[in-house]
Amino acid sequence: MRKSFFCLILLIFITIGSVGCNNKKVEKNNEITVFAASSMTESMEEIKQEFEKNNPDIKIVLNLDSSSRLRTQIENGVKPDIFISANEKHCKLLQEKGITDNKEQLLNNSMVLIVPSDNPCNIENLNDLRNKCDVVIAQKEVPAGDYALRILDNLNDKYGKDYKDSVLKNVVSEENNVKQVVTKVVLKEAQAAFVYSSDVTNKIKDKVKVIDIPKEYNVNATYWSSVFNDNEECLKFYEYLKGDQGKIIFKKYGFEPYI
């Protein structure tokens, strides 16, 4: 009788432990980790909020940083469920290394020049960047930095072959991601910066002045995605990103959905 009693108690503990493990497994399976370019911060945070509201059993975990830094994390073994890069390059590199077998264009964006709202250096056009002023761009490995350099190359055709070099002499810092670039201008630690048009959100639009870049000298900033997990929850969220609700939110923040 005593032996049977202890066997029963042991069986109960085993059952409880098994249920606990299963619950942990379900929670993990319902957690979707998304690595996304920092320029998508506001849009992805709203998408996360809306998706979780409609799917309370699924949790979205966002890691927002420059595409180059996110790619490095992935190469070092930190695997997301979904990766969204602000250019094709970083998804392509992961594909070439066999870390992912897929990539797809998701969004389009463009670049603008921003200056503080009081415009202390009186920058009225792109040619004024030759004048003495503190310019900030993202690092060249970061998509926003690469796009900025390409725009300066394009503007050599308009303002002369020495234009890019003269502007780069005014660059006082190269930031890790585009949000840091924006912050420098908002805090008036710089007088001009190249950022995405989507970075000029309602939160900062009264703190900066936007100078548009003519279309013929601008770049088409393309955002690409790679999916690392094909489980039901991950694919459901990815379809939400590409679907009507995702498109509405992306457009709200200045992106143009590609698909």
Read off the pTM: 0.85
* Whole-number pLDDT of residue 4: 52
- Helical H segments across the chain, by residue range: 2-29, 41-54, 67-75, 88-96, 143-159, 163-168, 178-186, 232-242, 244-252
Q: At what angle do helices 143-159 and 88-96 cross, to 10 degrees?
A: 130
Check if the beta carbon of residue 47 is closer than 8 Å to that of residue 241: yes
All structural domains of the chain: 2-108+223-257 (3.40.190.10), 111-212 (3.40.190.10)
Q: At what angle do helices 244-252 and 41-54 cross, to 10 degrees?
A: 150
* Whole-number pLDDT of residue 169: 97
pLDDT along the chain (259 residues), means of 10: 49 45 50 97 97 97 97 96 98 97 97 97 96 96 97 96 96 97 97 97 96 96 97 96 96 91
* Whole-number pLDDT of residue 16: 44
* Whole-number pLDDT of residue 181: 98
Give the three-class secondary structure for 102: coil
Burial 151-179 (b: 16+ CB within 10 A, else e): bbebbeeebeeebbeebeebbebbbbbbb
* Whole-number pLDDT of residue 28: 56
Residues in the chain: 259
Amino acid type, 226: S
Q: The tokens of 79 are what?
A: 């695997």
Where is 192: in which H helix or E strand?
strand 192-196
Report the sign of the C-alpha dihedral through residues 97, 175, 109, 129, in that order: negative
Amino acid type, 41: T
Q: At what angle do helices 67-75 and 88-96 cross, to 10 degrees?
A: 10
**To the nearest 10°, the Cα dihedral for 161, 166, 167, 172?**
150
* Whole-number pLDDT of residue 139: 97
